[in-house]
Amino acid sequence: MAVAQNARPALWPEIRVLLLAAMAIFLYTIGIGILNGTDVVDFDERRILSHVHGGTLGWLTLGVFAAALWLFAEGREVSRRERQLLRSLTAGAILSVVAYVVAFAVTYGNWRPILGTVTTLVIAGFTAWVIYRAKFTELGVPHVGFLAALGTSIVGGVLGILLGLELATGDNWLPGDIGGHPATMVVGFLIPVGLAMAEWAFFFPVAPKATRAGVLQMAFPFAGGIILMLSMLLEVTALAPLAILLQVAGIAIFVKRLWPQFRAVSLAEASPGRHAVMATVGLAFVIGLAQYLVIKYEGDLDLAPANQMLALDHAQFIGLMTNALFAMLMAATIGQRGNRVDQAVFILVNVGIAGFVVGLLGDWTAPKRIFTPLMGTGLIIGLAVYAARLLEVHVPVLNPMRAARIGAAGK
């Protein structure tokens, strides 16, 4: 079942095109990931960075923009001028992100900081609109999470521009560790917005009014992202454990607040809540691994092995954020009850990411080669199903094993 006509939000055309563009860009990211994870192709650093930014900007950030339009358009009628602005921002977001991802794939030069500047300006435009609309909206905890995350993403975007200039010119534009850029985006941006979308899935489409505990839940990871950024930029490694502890506090409040909703979820039944539960499991794993690495390497994550950092990143991007986005997409397109295709997607994605992360942590080749195509197949089936639902195309119900075989045969 596609989105019901009377359930469509005010900015549905803009939301839908952002989601479809996000899915299209994510297919590129998945393709590189499957070829790289199975060791079919050994990509150079430019293609790997293009793969990373296709996921973080193309899939995650465009998806966040779509969710923000849905959340913040409901408090007050959208004016004609606002709609014109948002249509321009939507087009600008898609075009700039595509160009930025291409720039990462083909050059180390000035096009990266140039297009990074354009992308950051688009992010700032969406953030300004969200702040404006917040004045007319009864804020729920997801709204607070989006406000924190979008504000942080501007800081992360500026750091990305400066890092691009450093690589293009050879000049030192950033103090301390260049890890301040990914740390800001991963901790300060992805964790608040991941928690926001996971919570929203339980109450979709209307989030209840924010409580003090809910605001603290979002404030802690927001502050943790800023502290971790300063820790790396200023090379004050003693601040890193504090940043992680704030993440722990945030997720603890989240679990306590939503424990009744978690208990009501059946992992055997296809539902948005099930994806939200797995997003929470992914986040708990990420925070636990991050705390372990911070303690072991005394706050200097540059000393951590690359395979362990890759495990951290993929657990966050797929385990947390993709599950959170799939929860939102399921709630928006089919409601609270999925079918056998949704079962296939859930199993393949979550078994795949679990096996892939184990392979990365142990630096074992075989699990990576086995679980990468499983995860990729699940992601591709999920994108196809949600795109069809967004476009209101009938999706036949397949047996999960048959769906997996069809996806694997397409590789």
Query: What six digits make up the tokens of 361?
Result: 């942590």
pLDDT band at 260 (very low <50, low <70, confident <90, very high): very high
What is the C-alpha to C-alpha distance for residues 228 and 246, in angstroms, rounded to an integer? 10
Instruction: Name the DSSP letter for residue 209.
Output: B
Measured over the CA atoms of residue 56, residue 58, residue 60 and residue 61, the dihedral's sign is: positive
pLDDT confidence of residue 152:
78
Q: How confident is the model at residue 347 (pLDDT cuts 50, 70, 90)?
A: very high
Both tokens assigned to 292: 């372990």
Mean pLDDT value across residues 365-380: 94
DSSP state, 363?
A: T
Q: Compute the distance between CA of residue 15 and CA of residue 108 in angstroms, rounded to an integer.
A: 32
pLDDT of 13 higher than 50: yes
For 175, what's the count of Cα atoms within 13 Å in the CB-facing half-sphere? 8
- Six token digits for residue 12: 């549905």
Q: pLDDT band for position 167 (50/70/90)?
A: low
CA 187 to CA 319: how far, in whole Å? 14
Q: Return the SS3 of 229.
A: helix
**pLDDT score recorded for residue 240:** 78
Q: What share of the chain is helix, strand, coil (3-state, %, to 5)?
A: 80, 0, 20
Report, as an integer, the average pLDDT of 328-347: 86
Q: How far is residue 397's CA from residue 270's CA, in Å, rounded to a whole number?
A: 13
Mean pLDDT, the chain, rounded, equals: 84
Q: Answer whether 280's CB lies under 8 Å from 324's CB.
A: no
Residues with Cβ < 8 Å from 120, sequence gap 6 or more?
A: 154, 157, 158, 160, 161
Higher-confidence position of 193 and 352: 352
Q: Is residue 129 left, alpha or beta, with left meaning phi > 0 and alpha meaning psi from -120 to 50?
A: alpha
Cis peptide before 400 (omega within 30 of 0): no
> Residue 400: its pLDDT value, please?
40
Dihedrals phi, psi of 41, to nearest 5 degrees: -130, 135
Cβ distance 73 to 132 under 8 Å?
A: no
Mean predicted confidence (pLDDT) in 267-296: 88
Instruction: Collect all residues with Cβ–Cβ distance below 8 Å to 311 and sequence separation of at least 6.
Output: 289, 357, 360, 361
Most confident of 107-111, 262-266, 300-304, 376-380: 376-380
pTM score of the predicted model:
0.85
First-to-final CA distance of the chain: 28
What integer pLDDT is reported at residue 403 of this predicted model?
A: 41
Query: Which residues pair with residue 209 across a beta bridge?
Result: 140
The secondary structure of residue 211, as a DSSP letter, is: P
Distance between CA atoms of residues 287 and 254, nearest Å: 14
Where are the alpha helices (H) located in 38-140, listed in sequence order?
A: 45-53, 62-72, 80-106, 111-134
